[in-house]
Amino acid sequence: MFRRYLSREIDQWTRSGLLPPGQGEILLADHDRRHTGFSLSGVLAVLAAVLFGAAVIALIAANWEFIPRLMRVVTIFVFIICGLSVASLALKRGSGGLSEAALVFTLLCYGAGIALVGQMYHLSGDEAAFMLTWAVGALVVSLCFSSAMAAVSAGLLGFGYMFAEASFFDSRSDVHLTGYLIVLALAFAVGLSAWRSRSAIAGHLAALLLICWAMWIIKETTDLEPGYPLAVMGAVVFGIGSFAPGLLGSAISRHGAVSSYGAVMLLSGLGLIQVTLVNPGLALEMALAAFILLISVAVLAVAGGENRLVRRFAYFAFACETIYVVSETLGSLLGSSGFLFLGGIALAVIAFAVMKIEKRFKNREVLP
């Protein structure tokens, strides 16, 4: 999709005389060299590795009692060594897809080995310890081979460890200080693996793991409703991503991923606050709805022009809030009509003011 957009822009620049003839093909060739994009063979290789790994796990588990103990450990070790060897040879030959597939197979065998050997020797531990050991193995593989798939696997296993360690689904209120530190370390390690492997998905998993880590601590150590701290953190993160890059240099890009996460957290937190209110009354509901609509417009005005994710989520939040208002005031059509009418007038005034400001900026750019 991005290549098609880039190709259209290059054609337009060439027709406008901004690029000399032939320069566009050179730019597209450089883009294709640095961005391989979707590879069907790589995807099929990874899927085949998943099936092979599942087959090996099922075969070993089915005949586990008939295999001598030493042979069991040796078999798992051999599978892991073979997977790492194939991945190393594939990297040397420039076959990234085959290398990723071999590493996926290796991680599956490693996870199966942890479970089966732990069962064989009756090692103490629970799901959290299993997930943590598996995640550490995935991180080591990712850092050694710069593997995007291993980095993503480590991020998912980090979530598995956190949910296994946390008390989300029971009535316990213990403070898991060790668990907090481990999840924090996992989040930063996954972020490092994402940077080394250039995996955007792993980077998003690291950021989400960090957000969930903060919410986990707040839930277990305070009596606050989750919407309030989420909205506050979102406002801070959005402010850093939108206004602080000038102070931080090139560490954070203005209106980039940090702004996106801040906008999503801010609007999601406000939505949670709204749905968790107990008998707030129509006046408070309408005031909060108007505030959320105003925040959506403000987020859109600040970062929507340069960030597509912020723009889309602000549109989504605005639409959801409008539907919520209509549903809450459905018994009073006059109230719904009045609220929407006043909201429409306010947005029309804002749109007119923004239009004048944009036109003035454009006129200044045209003047020498």
Q: Return mean pLDDT, the chain.
A: 78
Residue 28 in any domain: the answer is no
Residue where a domain terminates, one of 92, 124, 156:
124
Q: What is the mean pLDDT of residues 73-86?
A: 88
Question: Residue for token digits 């991680």?
Answer: 107
Residue 68 in any domain: the answer is yes
* Most trustworthy range by pLDDT among 29-43, 122-136, 263-277: 263-277
Number of domains, the chain: 2
Residue 291 in any domain: the answer is yes
145 burial (CB, 10 Å; 0-12 / 13-18 / 19+) is: buried
pLDDT surpassing 90 at residue 319: no
Confidence of residue 365 (pLDDT cuts 50, 70, 90): very low
Residue where a domain terminates, one of 108, 124, 140:
124
Percent of the chain topping pLDDT 70? 75
Q: Would you state the pLDDT for residue 171?
A: 45
Residue 107 in any domain: the answer is yes
* DSSP 8-state code for residue 1: -
pLDDT digits (tens, 9 = 90+) for 217-264: 888 888 888 888 888 998 888 888 887 765 555 556 666 778 888 888
Residue 355 in any domain: the answer is no
Residue 307 in any domain: the answer is yes
Write the DSSP string, 200-251.
HHHHHHHHHHHHHHHHHHHHHH----THHHHHHHHHHHHHHHHHSHHHHTTS
CB atoms within 10 A of CB 239: 15
pLDDT digits (tens, 9 = 90+) for 137-146: 999 999 988 8
Residue 88 and residue 147: Cα distance in Å, rounded? 11
Q: Would you state the pLDDT for residue 52?
A: 76
Confidence of residue 37 (pLDDT cuts 50, 70, 90): low
Q: Would you state the pLDDT for residue 366?
A: 46
Residue 276 and residue 279: Cα distance in Å, rounded? 9
Write the DSSP string, 250-293.
TSS-TTSHHHHHHHHHHHHHHHHHHHH-SS--HHHHHHHHHHHH
- pTM summary value: 0.74
The answer to whether 148 and 101 have CB atoms below 8 angstroms apart is no
Q: Bigger pLDDT: 90 or 175?
A: 90
pLDDT digits (tens, 9 = 90+) for 290-303: 888 888 888 888 87
Residue where a domain terminates, one of 124, 142, 162:
124
Distances from the Cα of 196 to the Cα of 69, 135, 189, 202, angstroms? 38, 17, 10, 10
Residue 243 and residue 100: Cα distance in Å, rounded? 39
Name which of 1-10, 50-59, 297-306 the model is least confident about.
Answer: 1-10
Determine the structural domain holding residue 245 and report its residue range. 224-330
Residue 155 in any domain: the answer is no
Q: Would you state the pLDDT for residue 247?
A: 57
pLDDT digits (tens, 9 = 90+) for 80-130: 998 899 888 988 887 777 888 888 889 988 888 888 777 776 666 678 888
Residue 153 and residue 161: Cα distance in Å, rounded? 12
Residue 183 in any domain: the answer is no
Residue 102 and residue 323: Cα distance in Å, rounded? 49
Residue 184 and residue 99: Cα distance in Å, rounded? 29
* The one-letter amino acid at 143: L
pLDDT digits (tens, 9 = 90+) for 189-221: 999 999 888 888 888 899 899 988 888 888 888
Q: Would you state the pLDDT for residue 355?
A: 67
Q: Bigger pLDDT: 8 or 272?
A: 272
